[in-house]
Amino acid sequence: MCDKLFEVTDPDPDPRDLAIASPAPNADAQHAAQAAGTGRRAAHRRATAAAIQAAADRLVAERGFHATTVREIAAAAGVTERTFYRYFDGKEGIVASRLDTWMQATHAAIIARPLAESPMRAVRMALAQLAAAIEQSPTRELLWAFTDSAATFNSMRRSGERPLLRIEQLITDALLERARRAAGAGDEAAWSADRFTSELVARTAVAALRTIGAERRRVLDTGAPQPVLMIDRAFDTLQSLFCDQDR
């Protein structure tokens, strides 16, 4: 009887109480998994953007900028129009993307010019070098859409793209970097004093590019001259004006 009184009679245990708790996931493993997922998504975005850009390059080269539609570009890239617009703001966005690539190349080309060259000479030679490269590029039709069509240029400006301001800033930055290297990294006062010259040369170069674009549109129907020749003409004219002693 006493045994019955002191017998412990537990109810049936809850299966949840018998489960062995899983160890907390390793924080490093979680972070690695998240990073891998982020990396895959970023790679997918880059691949999609590249596919759209490549399709645009090919179709515009074959048909011309204005004869190519967003729908055709999206279909050639294997994406929907909705996906296209997640990556680019219309055909003008495609132009802006290609243009930015060449702007960055211009920036690098100016910095790479010999430090003994004057700022104006460095910019002139870099622009001529890039103009020659563009003429050999399969993307040249997209790039010329920027200058050959006032409507395209104005549309880019309305969408927030300011290509001329962007190239002006990049030229200024490149010239300042050249001045820094010429003066030495420790002589900040010396190369900072060149900002006036750098900005003046950059704005003068952009004015030359605007004039080249306007001239190209005027003579496009009869055959535009080679871009390198137009750059030489623009900078030769500037040199003759600035060196005129009878002013």
Q: Residue 9 pLDDT more than 60?
A: no
Short-list 203, 205, 198, 207, CA closest to 177: 198
| pTM confidence score | 0.71
Q: Residue 20 pLDDT more than 60?
A: no
**Average pLDDT in the 124-130 region?**
94
Asked whether the beta carbons of 147 and 153 are under 8 A apart, the reply is yes
Confidence of residue 127 (pLDDT cuts 50, 70, 90): very high
42 or 97, which is more confident: 42
10 or 66, which is more confident: 66
Q: Residue 15 pLDDT more than 60?
A: no
**What percent of the chain has a predicted confidence (pLDDT) above 90?**
36
Short-list 48, 49, 76, 47, CA closest to 61: 76
Could you give all domains of the chain from N- to C-terminal order, each with its CATH number?
35-88 (1.10.10.60), 92-247 (1.10.357)
CA angle (118 as vertex; 162, 183 as ends), nearest 5? 95
In three state form, how does the secondary structure of 203-247 look?
Answer: HHHHHHHHHHHHHHHHHHHHCCCCHHHHHHHHHHHHHHHHCCCCC
157 or 124, which is more confident: 124
Q: What is the pLDDT of residues 58-73, one digit of tens each?
A: 898 888 888 889 999 9
Q: What is the pLDDT of residues 192-222, one digit of tens each?
A: 668 899 999 999 999 998 898 888 878 877 7
Mean pLDDT (the chain, rounded): 79
pLDDT for 154: 63
191 vs 223: CA distance, rounded Å: 43
pLDDT for 165: 87
Confidence of residue 1 (pLDDT cuts 50, 70, 90): very low
123 or 161, which is more confident: 123
Q: Per the structure block, which two tokens stand in for 54? A: 């490549």
**What percent of the chain has a predicted confidence (pLDDT) above 70?**
71
Phi-psi region of 158 (alpha: psi -120 to 50; beta: other; left: phi over 0): alpha
Q: What is the pLDDT of residues 92-109, one digit of tens each?
A: 888 888 888 888 999 999
Q: What is the pLDDT of residues 169-198, one digit of tens each?
A: 999 999 999 998 888 756 666 656 688 999
- Residue 117, judged by CB atoms within 10 A of its CB (0-12, 13-18, 19+), counts as middle
Q: Residue 236 pLDDT more than 80?
A: yes
Q: What is the pLDDT of residues 138-156, one digit of tens each?
A: 777 766 766 666 666 566 5
pLDDT for 18: 44
